[in-house]
Structure 1
Amino acid sequence: MEDIQDPGVSKAGRKRKSKVWNHFVAIEVQDKGKLVPKVECKHCKKRYKYVDGGPTSTLLLHVESKCAALQKKQGKTQGMLNFESQESANFEMGSGPTVGYDHAKNREIMAKMIIAHELPFAFVEYAWFNYLMKYNNPQFQKVSRHTIKKECMRVFESEREKMKKMFKDISKISLTSDRWTSNTSVGYMSLTAHYVDANWKLQKRIISFIDLAPPHSGEVISDGILDCLMKWGIQDRIGTITLDNASSNDRAACMLKCNFEEREKLHFGGLFFHVRCCAHILNLIVQDGLKVIKACLYKIREGVKYLRKSPAKLFQFGEVAIAHGIETKRSLCSDVPTRWNSTHRMLKSALHYKTTIHHYAKKDPNYEWEPSNEEWDNARKVCKFLEVFVEATNIFSGTTYPTANLFLVETYNVKKEICEAYRSGDPFLVEMSKPMFQKFEKYWGEVGVLMAVASIFDPRFKLATLQYTYKELYPANEVADRIKEVINHLRALHEKYSKELVNSKAATSASRMEDASNSTEPCSSAMSKIFDFMKEMNGENMSLLDSKPPLDSY
C-alpha cells in the first residue's frame, strides 16, 4: 500500500525549497511488515530511502546525471558542444582590442588556443585558417609554427610566474602523484597541487609532468618530486602527499618525510604526511575478491572480444537479442582487467545479454565461451556485491566537492558489506569475502586520524559520524578512548591554525555555510542511518568535552 504525498510539502507542512521535488514524489512502501518512507522519481520510477528533513544530495545527483529518462526528455541523449563561459576559461580572455589591430596580442591568443585545445603548432600554417583570419581582418599577419612554438613557451613562462606569486600566499599545500608506463615503455609521473585559495575555494593545479629515468625506485621518485617543489618554491609548505600503494611510493614518502623533518618543515609532526589513495585501496580489495570468478571472467571477456572485433558478428548478436525480446540499447562492454569498475560494467552488460549469449552460442560453432549456469549465478552475486564499491569509488573520485569528510562513512559501508557477505552462509560469497577482509584490515584496520577529523568537519554530523561508525569498526570497550584520541588531535590542529591565522584576513573574514540539504555532494544510505542515529540521541549531549571554547561549541 503506497501513500503518495505532495512532493513540495513536508510532513510538518513546511514548503520544500530544493529543486529535486520537481522530479520526486514522497511515498510509503511496505517492507517486512512496516511502512518505510521513500521517494520515487517521476521519470524513471527509481526509489530512494528518504527521511523527512534529511539531505537531498543523492536525489540531486540522480536528477543531474543518473536519470536516463529525464535526460532523454530534455534532449540530452546525444552529446552537445559545450562552449565555456569566459569565467571558466583556462586563460583570461580579456575584452578584445579597442583600437586597431595588435599583432602581438593576436599571436598570444593563438598560442593560448593551441595550448588549451591541444592543437599542433602547424595549425597556424593551415591555408584555410589563414584565409579565415585574413577575411576577418586584412591586417592579419601569418605566423609560422616555429614562431608560435616560442610564443607558447612565453605564455607558459608567464602563467608559471603568476602561479609562483599566487603560491606565496598559500600556507599549506597537499600533493597527489601518479605514475604510469606508456606503450613505448617510457615511465611518466605527474604531480598535482591542491590548496584552498583566499576565497576559500578548493583549487588544484598540475605542477609537474615528467618522464622518470628507470629504475622507478623510491629514490628516483623522491628526487623527482623534491626537484619540482624546489622549482616552484613550495618545498616548505607541503602538508600531505597522496600516493598509490606501491613499495617504491612508500619508500619515496619516507625519504621526503625525513628530508622535511631534517629542515624542520614537517607539518603536524608528520601525522598526516603520507596518505594512501583510497580509490587504489578499493581496487586492491576488489581485485582480490574477483579472483574467485577468474574462470568466469575469462569466458565473458573473451566472448565479448570475439563479438566486438567483427561488426558482422555484433550485428548477428543484435538480431538474436531482438528475436528474443532483449533490449539492445545497452552496449556490450569490454573491460580493462586492471580496472575493476570496468570489469563490473562488463559483468552488468553480459548479465543483461545472458539469454542472447546462450542462443547465439547455439548458432555460432566458433563461439566457445558461454559460462555455465553456476558461473552466471556467481557473476550475478558478484555484480550485486560490488555496487557498494562502485558508489564508494564514485564518491572518492569526486572533483567538484571536498571528499575527505565522506571517507569514513564509505569505509564503514565497505566493511559492513564484506562482513555481511562472510556471514551470509553462501560458500561462494564466504570464499570471496575472506581475502577482501584481509586486505581491508591491512590498510583500513586502523582508521586514519585524518579521515576521522575530516568527518567531524562535516557540519551535518560532526561527532555523530564517529560515534555511529566506530561502534561498528571497533570493539565496544575501545570506542570512547578512540574518539577521545581523535578529539585530542583535533584540538592540537585547531590550536596550530589559530596561532597561524590570528593576524590574517582569513581569521576575521566571515564564512558562510550553505544549507546541507542543498549540497551538491553525494549522500550514501549510511548517511541517512546516521541521521536516524542522531534523532535517536533525542537531544542528548553528544560532546565528550568538558569546557566550551569555539571548537567545542561547534
Structure 2
Amino acid sequence: MDMSNAVNIKSTRLKSVVWNDFDRIKLADNTCIAVCRHCKKKLSGSSTSGTSHLRNHLIRCQRRSNLGIPQLFAARGKRKEGTYFNLDQRKKKDEGINLVNIRFEQEQTKDDIINYGSNNFDQRRSRFDLARMIILHGYPLDMVEDVGFKVFVKNLQPLFELVTSERVEADCMEIYVKEKQKVNDVLDKLPGRISLSADMWASLDGAQYLCLTAHYIDESWQLKKKILNFIVIDSSDTEDKHSEIIMTSLIEWDIDRKLFSMTFDSYSTNDNIVIRIKDRLSQNKLLYCNGQLFDVRCAANVLNMMFQDALEALCEITDKIRGSIRYVKSSQAVQAKFDGIAQQGGGQSKRFLCLDNQMQWNSTYVMLEIALEYREAFYLLHANDVVYTMCPSDIEWDRVSVITSYLKLFVEVTDGFTKFKSPTANLYFPELCEVHLQLNEWCKNPDDYISSLAFKMRSRFEEYWQRCSLGLAVAAILDPRFKMRVVEYYYGQVFGSGAPSRISEAILCVKALYNEHSNCLASLDQGVAWQVGDSSHLPGSERESGDRLSGFDRYIEETNEADGTKSDLDKYLEEPAFPRHAQGFDILNWWKVHAPRYPVLSMMARNVLGIPVSKVAMDSAFNTGRRMLDRDWSSMNPGTVQALMCARDWIRSELES
C-alpha cells in the first residue's frame, strides 16, 4: 500500500469514540484507511465501512494501553462544553466533586445488545450482573453513584450506560421476584416435609426483623435451606399478632400443609406464640403425632445461655484475670519481666497470653484456659511487683480451673455443631446426653459455689431437654449406626432406674410416627397425603373418594402384621447396626441407597433428619449478641431489606450447588 502521498484527515467530523485510537488517512487513490495508534495496523477507514471492525480490533489489540477516562474522551472533550474529571484531581470525599461535570458519553444504540463480531455487549445483562453482585456481597445500593465506581466501569467498558441507585434497586426487586418463583417451584415439588426456623435480627436503628428459613431434604437426599421471609416486626405487638405474621407467611408460601417442625430461639421466644401456631396447625390435622415433635428449641442457644451463667458466676475473677493480662501487656518492660519469671519455672506455656473478645464466649474460655497455665507466673509477678495488685487468690484460681474443665465440653460440643455445613438431626442426641451427664456429675461437687452454679445450669438444660429430647432420640434412632441402642445406652446413665419408662416413650413415639407415615404413603393416590393422624376422620375417605377398596388395603396391612410380616421399622431395628467408625459415612446417602428397602421409614427419615436442631450459623455459634444488619442495609425500607436478604440467600445457594 503506497503511503507516500497519504494525507491525515482532520477528525472534526468523526463522531465515534473509536477514532480516539485510530488515525484516518486518505491515500492517493482517494480511499481512506484507519491506522491503529497502538499497533499501527491498517484497516478500512471508508465512511461506508462503519466502525464495528475498528471496535473488534481494539478488543483484540495487544498493544492498546489501559486508557483512563480523560484520555479516552480527550478528543471529544475539545468539541464539547464542560470540564471533565481528571483522575489526578482527587478528593477525600465524593461529596466534594461536582458530579454534573463528569460526563460519560455512550454510543447511541437501538438495542441493548451491541455486536462486536464474535463478542456481544448486553446492557441489560450487565445491569443485572451488577444488581446480583450488590445482592450477593451486601454492597450498598448507592455505590453506583460513587465517582470511583463510575470511573472504573467506564474505563472497563465505555459502552455500559451508568445506572442510578433507584434503577439498581428496581433491578434487585426484579431479581427477587424471579428467584422467589424458583423457590416456590422447588418447595411445591418437594417429596417430604419442611421444617422452619425463626431467628431474630436487629438493624442499627433499632428495628427488629424476623427471619424465617425453610429446611428440607430434597429429592436427591441433600439437606438444603432457603430464607423465605425477612419481616420487620414491632416488639410491642401482641402474641396473636406475631403468630399471625408467621402463619401468614406459611400460607403465602403454601407450606402450612407441609410443615414438620419449627425451631425457635431458646431465650427470646414467647411460648404462647409457639402454642398458637401449633394449635392452629393441629386443628387441621397438619402435624405428625399431634405436634409432639413440632416445637424445637435451638441447642446452640441453650449451650450459649449455660455458658453465660458460668461466666456470670466467674465475673469478678474473670475481670481480675483480664486486668492481669492487660497489665502484663501494658509495656515491654513488664512483658519481659513476666516472660523471665515464666522461663524460670513460673508456669511457662507454649501459648501466649491473650485477651478475649467479650462478644465471643469461646474466646473468654481460651483466655481463662491459657491464664491457668501461667498461674505460678502471676503469683511470682505479684510477689515481685508492687504495682501488680489484681492477682486472683488460690481459691479463685481453683474455681476457674474446675469451671473451665467442665466448660471445655460445651466448647467442643458447640464447635462440633458448626463443623458440619449441613448438620442432620441425628448428630445431636449423643452430644447433648454427654452434656447432661456432665451436669449431673458437676452438681456433686463439694464446693457450694460450684455445685450451686451446676444446679442452675442443669435446671436450664432440663427445661430444654423436657421439650426436645424425644425428637432428638427419634433422630438418633434413625441413624443406622445407633438405632435403639444409643437411646438405651445413654438413658440408662442419665435416668438410672427411670430409664425403662423413657426408653418406652421413645419407642412408642417412633412407632406412632412410622404408622402415620405409612398411612400417609398409602393415601398418596387419594391426594390427601398432607393430612396425618386417624385416616377415618380425614376428608377424602374411601366412600368420598370413590376408592371402595381402601378398607381392604387396611385389612391386608393388619392381617399381614398378624401373620408375622415385618414392617420397615421392624426390619430396620432388628438388623445389625452399621459400623460406627466407617470412614466417609453419609447418613443421607445411606437412606438414599436403602430407600427401596425401607420405603416408609425412608420417608420418615427424610422428614426427621431435616429438623434444624441447631439453627445458629457457623460464623455466629459463639456470639453473645443478636445478629445485626450492617449500616447500609439498616437504612433501607423493610421491603427492600427483605428482597435483598432473601435474594442473597437464594443466589448463594444456587452458586454453591
TM-score when scaled to structure 2? 0.56
**Secondary structure of the structure 1 residue equivalent to 2:120:** coil
How much does 1:412 deviate? Answer: 1.9
1:201 aligns with 2:225: no
1:159 aligns with 2:140: no
- Go from structure 1 to structure 2 and tell me whether the alpha carbon gap of 1:145 and 1:181 turns closer, same or farther (over 3 Å shift): closer
2:127 to 81, 103, 107: 107
The answer on whether the counterparts of 2:296 and 2:467 sit within 8 Å (CA) in structure 1 is no
How much does 1:178 deviate? Answer: 2.1
**Secondary structure of the structure 2 residue equivalent to 1:258:** helix
2:583 to 476, 500, 518: 518
Rg comparison, structure with higher value: 2
How much does 1:380 deviate? Answer: 1.5
How much does 1:284 deviate? Answer: 3.2
- Map of 1:69-468 to 2, 5 A cutoff? 99-170=119-190, 171-181=192-202, 184-215=205-236, 217-246=238-267, 248-301=269-322, 313=330, 318-323=335-340, 324-325=342-343, 326=348, 330=352, 332-336=354-358, 340-354=361-375, 357=378, 368-426=389-447, 428-444=449-465, 448-468=469-489
Q: Which digits, 9 at most, give the CA deviation of each residue in 1:355-374, with x for residues without a partner?
A: 56556667887765332222
Q: Which digits, 9 at most, give the CA deviation of each residue in 1:182-208, with x for residues without a partner?
A: 564433322221111121100112222
The answer on whether the counterparts of 1:213 and 1:220 sit within 8 Å (CA) in structure 2 is no
Distance (whole Å) between structure 2 residues aligned to residue 353 and residue 217 of structure 1: 53
| Bigger shift: residues 173-182 or 109-118 | 173-182
How much does 1:175 deviate? Answer: 1.3
1:490 aligns with 2:510: yes
Distance (whole Å) between structure 1 residues aligned to residue 208 and residue 387 of structure 2: 40
Counterpart amino acid of 1:149?
E
Counterpart amino acid of 2:584?
S
- Map of 1:13-32 to 2, 5 A cutoff? none
The answer on whether the counterparts of 1:196 and 1:202 sit within 8 Å (CA) in structure 2 is yes
Q: Which has the higher contact order (CA 8 A, sep 6+)?
A: 2
How much does 1:302 deviate? Answer: 5.1
Q: Which digits, 9 at most, give the CA deviation of each residue in 1:201-235, with x for residues without a partner?
A: 00112222233213265334323322332332322
- Go from structure 1 to structure 2 and tell me whether the alpha carbon gap of 1:514 and 1:196 turns closer, same or farther (over 3 Å shift): farther
- What is residue 538 of structure 1 aligned with on the other side? none
Distance (whole Å) between structure 2 residues aligned to residue 180 and residue 485 of structure 1: 37
Structure 1 residue runs of 5 or longer lacking an equivalent are 1-96, 505-512, 523-547
Distance (whole Å) between structure 1 residues aligned to residue 245 and residue 334 of structure 2: 51
- Go from structure 1 to structure 2 and tell me whether the alpha carbon gap of 1:495 and 1:402 turns closer, same or farther (over 3 Å shift): farther
Q: Which digits, 9 at most, give the CA deviation of each residue in 1:97-151, with x for residues without a partner?
A: 9751111111111111111111122333444544444444443332232222211
- Go from structure 1 to structure 2 and tell me whether the alpha carbon gap of 1:107 and 1:258 turns closer, same or farther (over 3 Å shift): same
How much does 1:432 deviate? Answer: 3.3
- Go from structure 1 to structure 2 and tell me whether the alpha carbon gap of 1:150 and 1:426 turns closer, same or farther (over 3 Å shift): same
**Secondary structure of the structure 1 residue equivalent to 2:179:** helix
Count of matched residue positions in the alignment of Structure 1 and Structure 2: 418
Q: Which digits, 9 at most, give the CA deviation of each residue in 1:61-107, with x for residues without a partner?
A: xxxxxxxxxxxxxxxxxxxxxxxxxxxxxxxxxxxx97511111111
- Go from structure 1 to structure 2 and tell me whether the alpha carbon gap of 1:386 and 1:329 turns closer, same or farther (over 3 Å shift): closer
Distance (whole Å) between structure 1 residues aligned to residue 388 and residue 132 of structure 2: 52
Distance (whole Å) between structure 1 residues aligned to residue 425 and residue 402 of structure 2: 30
- Go from structure 1 to structure 2 and tell me whether the alpha carbon gap of 1:460 and 1:248 turns closer, same or farther (over 3 Å shift): closer
Distance (whole Å) between structure 2 residues aligned to residue 219 and residue 360 of structure 1: 60
The answer on whether the counterparts of 2:518 and 2:600 sit within 8 Å (CA) in structure 1 is no
Distance (whole Å) between structure 2 residues aligned to residue 206 and residue 364 of structure 1: 57
Counterpart amino acid of 1:334?
D
- Go from structure 1 to structure 2 and tell me whether the alpha carbon gap of 1:360 and 1:160 turns closer, same or farther (over 3 Å shift): farther
The answer on whether the counterparts of 1:317 and 1:356 sit within 8 Å (CA) in structure 2 is no
- Go from structure 1 to structure 2 and tell me whether the alpha carbon gap of 1:205 and 1:388 turns closer, same or farther (over 3 Å shift): same
Distance (whole Å) between structure 1 residues aligned to residue 443 and residue 352 of structure 2: 32
Counterpart amino acid of 1:110?
L
Distance (whole Å) between structure 2 residues aligned to residue 396 and residue 232 of structure 1: 29
The answer on whether the counterparts of 1:341 and 1:390 sit within 8 Å (CA) in structure 2 is yes
The answer on whether the counterparts of 2:224 and 2:422 sit within 8 Å (CA) in structure 1 is no
2:495 to 474, 484, 495: 474
How much does 1:271 deviate? Answer: 0.7
- What is residue 509 of structure 1 aligned with on the other side? none
Distance (whole Å) between structure 2 residues aligned to residue 343 and residue 474 of structure 1: 33
Distance (whole Å) between structure 1 residues aligned to residue 237 and residue 370 of structure 2: 38
The answer on whether the counterparts of 1:318 and 1:328 sit within 8 Å (CA) in structure 2 is no
Distance (whole Å) between structure 1 residues aligned to residue 155 and residue 203 of structure 2: 43
The answer on whether the counterparts of 1:177 and 1:243 sit within 8 Å (CA) in structure 2 is yes
Counterpart amino acid of 1:332?
C
Instruction: Compute the RMSD of aligned alpha carbons.
Output: 3.6
**Secondary structure of the structure 2 residue equivalent to 1:259:** helix
How much does 1:551 deviate? Answer: 5.9
- Go from structure 1 to structure 2 and tell me whether the alpha carbon gap of 1:320 and 1:251 turns closer, same or farther (over 3 Å shift): farther
Q: Which digits, 9 at most, give the CA deviation of each residue in 1:21-79, with x for residues without a partner?
A: xxxxxxxxxxxxxxxxxxxxxxxxxxxxxxxxxxxxxxxxxxxxxxxxxxxxxxxxxxx
Counterpart amino acid of 1:264?
K
TM-score when scaled to structure 1? 0.66
- Go from structure 1 to structure 2 and tell me whether the alpha carbon gap of 1:497 and 1:398 turns closer, same or farther (over 3 Å shift): farther
Q: Sequence identity of aligned pairs in percent?
A: 29
How much does 1:274 deviate? Answer: 0.8
Q: Which digits, 9 at most, give the CA deviation of each residue in 1:372-397, with x for residues without a partner?
A: 22212211111111111112222334
- Go from structure 1 to structure 2 and tell me whether the alpha carbon gap of 1:139 and 1:395 turns closer, same or farther (over 3 Å shift): same
- Go from structure 1 to structure 2 and tell me whether the alpha carbon gap of 1:121 and 1:436 turns closer, same or farther (over 3 Å shift): closer
